[in-house]
């Protein structure tokens, strides 16, 4: 659910934007006004998701189905293979699109059972050299859903990094570096490690601020 102020701004600007007198849906995509909307959107995304300037942000049409092509185009190298779980209509579409890019191996299929279930681990045939493993988490047409992320044997080790706290006290810069360990991948929810890191950084920053109330303390990370 979008926040109420966002919905209210959409409601107000949809009939006619105050600065141009027509709807945002009607203005030219080459106009200065639309260029500003696009620039603001990109800027907000970079701030919210911490996207560096070394990466481009693409605004694409197509929804989830577009990713059936985008995934192999970005992650399937020339001469490589990708493992796919064939569990329904959407998985078949994903396989068909991936085959246009490279070699696809069916790691497991329940087509013989009319896609009435997800495959059991004993039915999987996974290539340890595969570029990636693709699964369709929710087959909305057949009503089949994975209730957990399948353990495909990928790296679930611990990554290390430096958490750096830097502040100014009595005109002198003080720097504190903490070596921290973060899981590279969390099975249930990939957002959890990032949330934990953010809370840890916030806690350390609060501790430093409490110790030196007149210092300006900021946190940054190096990977």
* One domain for residues 41 and 81: no
- Asked whether residue 108 is assigned to any structural domain, the reply reads yes
| Residue 19 pLDDT | 77
| Residue 110 pLDDT | 96
| Residue 211 pLDDT | 65
Give the integer Cα–Cα distance in Å for 36 and 133: 39
| Residue 116 pLDDT | 94
Give the integer Cα–Cα distance in Å for 183 and 175: 25
Residue 215 in tokens: 């210092």
3-state secondary structure of 209: helix
Kindly report, residue by residue over 35-73, the tens digit of the pLDDT. Answer: 998 999 999 999 988 888 898 888 877 777 888 998 999
* One domain for residues 71 and 126: yes
Please list, in sequence order, all residues whose beta carbon lies within 8 angstroms of the beta carbon of residue 80, skipping any fewer than 6 positions away.
102, 103, 130, 131
- 114: phi > 0 → left, psi -120 to 50 → alpha, else beta; which? left
Give me the average pLDDT of each 10-residue run along the chain (223 residues).
Answer: 85 84 86 90 90 87 84 91 96 96 96 94 93 92 88 63 60 65 52 59 65 57 45
Q: Kindly tell me the burial class for residue 117, based on how many C-beta atoms sit within 10 Å of its own C-beta (0-12, 13-18, 19 or more).
A: exposed
* One domain for residues 45 and 67: no
- Can you say how many angstroms the Cα of residue 138 is from the centroid of all Cα atoms in its chain? 18
* One domain for residues 141 and 71: yes
CB 71 within 8 A of CB 134: yes
| Residue 14 pLDDT | 85
Residue 201: how many other CB atoms lie within 10 Å: 19
| Domain of residue 132, residue span | 63-145
3-state secondary structure of 194: helix
3-state secondary structure of 188: coil
Q: Kindly tell me the burial class for residue 115, based on how many C-beta atoms sit within 10 Å of its own C-beta (0-12, 13-18, 19 or more).
A: buried
Residue 117 in tokens: 């279930």
* One domain for residues 96 and 37: no
* One domain for residues 73 and 141: yes
- Asked whether residue 57 is assigned to any structural domain, the reply reads no
| Residue 187 pLDDT | 47
| Residue 86 pLDDT | 97
| Residue 102 pLDDT | 95
| Residue 222 pLDDT | 45
Instruction: Answer with the one of 99, 124, 145 that is the final residue of a domain.
Output: 145
| Residue 115 pLDDT | 95
- Asked whether residue 54 is assigned to any structural domain, the reply reads no
Domain tally for the chain? 3
CB 162 within 8 A of CB 179: yes
């Amino acid at each position: 659910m979008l926040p109420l102020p966002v919905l209210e701004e959409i409601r107000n600007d949809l009939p006619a934007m105050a600065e141009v007198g027509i709807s945002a849906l009607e203005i030219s995509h080459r106009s200065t006004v639309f260029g500003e909307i696009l620039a603001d959107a990109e800027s907000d995304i970079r701030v919210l998701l911490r996207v560096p300037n070394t990466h481009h942000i693409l605004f694409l049409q197509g929804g989830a189905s577009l990713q059936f092509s985008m995934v192999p185009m970005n992650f399937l190298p020339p001469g490589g293979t990708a493992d796919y779980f064939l569990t329904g209509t959407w998985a078949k579409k994903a396989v068909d699109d991936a085959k246009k890019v490279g070699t696809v191996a069916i790691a497991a299929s329940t087509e013989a059972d009319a896609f009435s279930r997800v495959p059991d681990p004993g039915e999987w045939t996974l290539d340890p050299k595969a570029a990636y493993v693709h699964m369709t988490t929710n087959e909305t047409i057949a009503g089949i859903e994975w209730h957990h992320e399948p353990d495909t044997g990928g790296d679930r080790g611990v990554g290390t990094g430096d958490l750096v706290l830097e502040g100014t006290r009595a005109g002198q810069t003080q720097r504190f570096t903490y070596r921290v360990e973060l899981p590279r991948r969390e099975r249930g929810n990939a957002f959890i490690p990032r949330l934990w890191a953010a809370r840890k950084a916030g806690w350390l920053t609060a501790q430093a601020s409490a110790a030196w109330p007149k210092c300006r303390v900021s946190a940054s990370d190096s990977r």
